[in-house]
Amino acid sequence: MDPDIEKSSHELLLRLAGRLPDQLLWRFRDWLGEGAMGTLARTLPRSLLKHRIDLDQTEYRLLVAGLIPHGADWHQVSSTLGVDDVTETRYTFTQSAPEWVNSVDSVSVLIHATLRGRPDVGEVRQSWRHLGVVGEGGAKRVLLVTALNGLPRLTGELQRVLRVLGDEEPGVEVLPPSIDLTGYHRTALANSELVCVGAVDTGSRLVAA
């Protein structure tokens, strides 16, 4: 896959975290990781319109760069450009795991074993996402990983690990070391804990010491 197209598509899907429904977002990321760009080009613009998710100028350019070369419908793509500011995240995040998570968290243990000291991986953190008031309703684990290369494929790999462990709509945010973070990611990182560190220094910490 063309690296510029891959980069544009991955960044767009990062920016859609917290806006596009989880059951769609993880699937789109899985397709990107597998290189199924034709499928992604046919379905993502239509899903954005169906769920009334407007894109800002930067996101629109990413959509054009990533999907038009793979046959996305121009009319659908052009219709995604919104006139209003992008809505900030409606979620809150906490560092502490909910009570239903065992004291020995098997998911964190496996992620630690998978990514600790791994080439091209920097910090690995996790946060717990809540819709509305913390403690009312469910909490969702969100992994936050910095990586230098192969970001879509690493995303797909970690999503498959979490699905095997019971998370049907995994939240995996694999971030390049230099990116303009969304409010969703800034809030998640500010309320996250370190799981492990890979083999590389990405040049900056996700969260200040």
pLDDT in tens, 68-83: 999 999 999 999 998 6
Tell me which of 201 and 209 has the higher pLDDT. 201
Question: pTM for the complete prediction?
Answer: 0.91
Of the pLDDT bands very low, low, confident and very high (cuts 50, 70, 90), residue 178 is: confident
What whole-number percentage of the chain has pLDDT above 70?
Answer: 87
Angle, nearest 10°, between helix axes 3-15 and 151-164?
50
How far apart CA 31 and CA 98 sit, in angstroms, is 31
Q: Is the pLDDT of residue 128 over 60?
A: yes
Of the pLDDT bands very low, low, confident and very high (cuts 50, 70, 90), residue 209 is: very low
Q: Is the pLDDT of residue 148 over 90?
A: yes
> What's the confidence (pLDDT) of residue 131?
85
H or E element in which residue 55 lies: none
Q: Is the pLDDT of residue 11 over 60?
A: yes
Q: Is the pLDDT of residue 205 over 60?
A: no
Fold topology of 91-197: GMP Synthetase; Chain A, domain 3 (3.30.300)
> What's the confidence (pLDDT) of residue 144?
98
- Quick: pLDDT tens for 44-70: 999 999 999 999 999 999 999 999 999
Tell me which of 201 and 173 has the higher pLDDT. 173
Instruction: Locate 92 and state its tokens.
Output: 């809150």
> What's the confidence (pLDDT) of residue 87?
64
Q: Is the pLDDT of residue 204 over 70?
A: no
How far apart CA 126 and CA 116 sit, in angstroms, is 14
- Beta carbons of 84 and 49 less than 8 angstroms apart: no
Of the pLDDT bands very low, low, confident and very high (cuts 50, 70, 90), residue 98 is: confident
Let me know the angle formed at the C-alpha of 179 by 150 and 47, rounded to the nearest 5 degrees: 75
- Beta carbons of 49 and 79 less than 8 angstroms apart: yes
Q: DSSP string of 86-154?
A: PPPP-EEEESSPPTTS-SS-HHHHHHHHHHTT-TTEEEEEEEEEEESSTTSS-EEEEEEEEESS-HHHH
Query: Which of the 8 DSSP states describes residue 85?
Result: P
Question: What are the domain boundaries of the chain?
Answer: 3-78, 91-197
> What's the confidence (pLDDT) of residue 97?
76
> What's the confidence (pLDDT) of residue 86?
64
